[in-house]
Amino acid sequence: MLTLSDVHDAAERRLDPVHYDFFAGGAGEERTVAANTEAFDRYRLVPRVLRGVGRRGLDVELLGQALSMPVLVSPTAFHRLAHPDGEVATARAAAAARTVMILSMAATRTVEDVAATGVRLWFQLFVQPDRAFTERLVRRAEKAGCGALVVTVDAPLFGRRDRDVRNGFDDLPAGLACENLREAPTGPPRPITWDPELTWADLAWVCGLTPLPVLVKGILHPDDAHLAVEHGAGGIIVSNHGGRQLDGATATLDALTDVVDAVAGRVPVLLDGGVRRGTDVVTALALGATAVGIGRPVVWGLAADGTAGVRHVLELLRGELDRAMALCGADRVAALGPDLVDIGRCHR
Ligand SMILES: Cc1cc2nc3c(=O)[nH]c(=O)nc-3n(C[C@H](O)[C@H](O)[C@H](O)COP(=O)(O)O)c2cc1C
Ligand SMILES: CCCCC(=O)C(=O)O
C-alpha cells in the first residue's frame, strides 16, 4: 500500500458494502465530497530552491499540545464497523504517531478506554437539546483527560446520505452502540438528537462551561469564523463534514483563505476534507491552516489493518509531507507561506 488510495482499495475489499457506503458516502449528489479533493487538484505550488533543507522539522504546537506533524485524526463515527477494537485501535496508532485524535461523540468505545492508550485526545460534541446531559458529557470528557472540545456546528439536522437510505442503513447492528451516550455502564445509550434551535448563544454557553479550549468545527463562511471567535472559540475547523451535510457546499480549501483572514491570527485555523497527499497538507498550511485533519483515510487504514493500517496512513502522509516540504524549500512548518501557492491560476 504505497498511497492512501491503495489503503482505500484494501479497505473497500474488506468492508461489508453497506458499511463501506456509510463511510465513503456523502449527502445528495456527493458534489461536495468530490469538490474537496478536486480543489486540491486545482492548486499548484511554486517551490523555492537553494534553501538548505537538509534538516527538517514537521512538529507543531497546537493549543498547548506538541504534535509530531500538522496532521491529526478528525472525528468519525462507528469505528467498530471497521475493526473489532474500534476507536481504541485508532487511538493506538495516533499515539504512536504522536498526534491528536478527535474522538467522535458517536464513538463505539468509551472515552475512558480510548484515553487509556495515552493518545492526545480531544472530544467532539453535538450540543444536545438536553443541556444537562450535554454538560455531563463535557465533564466526562474532561475527567477522562481530553485536551480540548470540538463542537460540530454544521448539523442543525442530519444530512441525507442517499447511499444509506438506499441501503436501509440507519442504525448500528446489534452488539455495537455509542458507548459515551450511556448514562450508566449497562444502561441504554441515549440517541443523538440534532438540534435546529442552536444559536451562537449555545456556543458561548459551552465555552463558559469548561476551561478546555473549544474548537468550532464546520465553519465555511468568514463571518461565521469571526462570530465563533467572538463567542469564545479557541480554534476554528474549516470543514464541510466531508461533504456529508450540505451537498453543494464549497470545498474547504476554497473557503480557507477568507476564514484565515477573518480570524486574523486570534486562534488557530484547522481544515479537513479531501486531504489525501503530503502536498495537500503543504497547500493548506501555506494558505494559513495550522494543521489539517483526515477523516476517511483513517477509517480505511483501520478497516485494512487495524492499528497498523492507521499507523501506515499517518506515516505515508508524514513521509509525503516531509518530501514535499523539502522540494518546496521549507525546513519547518512555519516556513510554509502563501507565496508558495499559485493563487492567481488556481481557480481556472
Ligand atoms: C464515516 C464518517 C463519520 C463521521 N462522523 C463524524 C462525527 O461523528 N462528528 C463530526 O463532527 N464529524 C464527523 N465526520 C466528518 C469528519 O470529521 C471530517 O470532517 C471529514 O471526514 C473530513 O473529510 P475527509 O473524510 O475527506 O478527510 C464524519 C465523516 C465520515 C466520513
Ligand atoms: C449518527 C452519527 C453521525 C456521525 C456523523 O456525523 C456522520 O456520519 O457524518
Is residue 348 predicted with pLDDT exceeding 60? no
Q: Which three cell numbers stand for residue 195?
A: 438540534
Is residue 185 predicted with pLDDT exceeding 90? no
What pLDDT does 347 receive?
63
pLDDT, tens digit (0-9, with 9 covering 90-100), for 256-301:
999 999 999 999 999 999 999 999 999 999 999 999 999 999 999 9
Q: Is the CB of 25 under 6 A from ligand 1?
A: no
Q: Is the CB of 241 under 6 A from ligand 2?
A: yes
pLDDT, average across residues 200-206: 98
pLDDT, average across residues 14-20: 98
Among 165, 62, 166, 150, residue whose Cα is nearest residue 106? 150
Q: Is the dihedral of CA 289, 312, 35, 74 positive or negative?
A: negative
Q: Is the CB of 124 under 6 A from ligand 1?
A: yes
pLDDT, average across residues 8-13: 98
- Gap from CA of 158 to ligand 2 centroid (Å): 8
Residue the block writes with cell 451516550: 181
- Gap from CA of 344 to ligand 2 centroid (Å): 36
Q: Is the CB of 198 under 6 A from ligand 2?
A: no
What pLDDT does 316 receive?
98
Reported as a pLDDT band with limits 50, 70 and 90, residue 40 is very high
pLDDT, tens digit (0-9, with 9 covering 90-100), for 70-104:
999 999 999 999 999 999 999 999 999 999 999 99
Closest ligand to the CA of 243: 1
The residue whose CA has the least distance to atom 5 of ligand 2 is 77
- Gap from CA of 106 to ligand 2 centroid (Å): 7
The residue whose CA has the least distance to atom 1 of ligand 2 is 106
For residue 161, give the amino acid letter.
R
Q: What is the ipTM of this complex?
A: 0.99
- Phi first, then psi, for residue 271 (nearest 5°) are -140, 140
Classify residue 69 by its DSSP letter. S
Asked if 27 and 159 touch (Cβ cutoff 8 Å), the reply is yes
Give the ligand 1 atom nearest the CA of 105: 8
Helix (H) or strand (E) holding 22: helix 17-24
Is residue 344 predicted with pLDDT exceeding 90? no
pLDDT, average across residues 53-80: 98
Question: Active-site residue 79, yes or no?
Answer: no
Cα separation, 154 vs 156, whole angstroms: 6
Q: What is the pTM of this model?
A: 0.98
Cα separation, 25 vs 21, whole angstroms: 5
Is residue 226 predicted with pLDDT exceeding 90? yes
Closest ligand to the CA of 273: 1
Is residue 107 predicted with pLDDT exceeding 90? yes
Q: Which three cell numbers stand for residue 213?
A: 479550549
pLDDT, tens digit (0-9, with 9 covering 90-100), for 113-156:
999 999 999 999 999 999 999 999 999 999 999 999 999 999 99
What's the mean per-residue pLDDT of the chain? 97
Reported as a pLDDT band with limits 50, 70 and 90, residue 343 is confident
pLDDT, average across residues 174-185: 95
Asked if 151 and 127 touch (Cβ cutoff 8 Å), the reply is yes
Cα separation, 218 vs 241, whole angstroms: 7
Q: Is the CB of 152 under 6 A from ligand 1?
A: yes
Q: Is the CB of 177 under 6 A from ligand 2?
A: no
Q: Is the dihedral of CA 8, 9, 10, 15 positive or negative?
A: positive
Q: Which of 19, 79, 83, 241 is catalytic?
A: 241
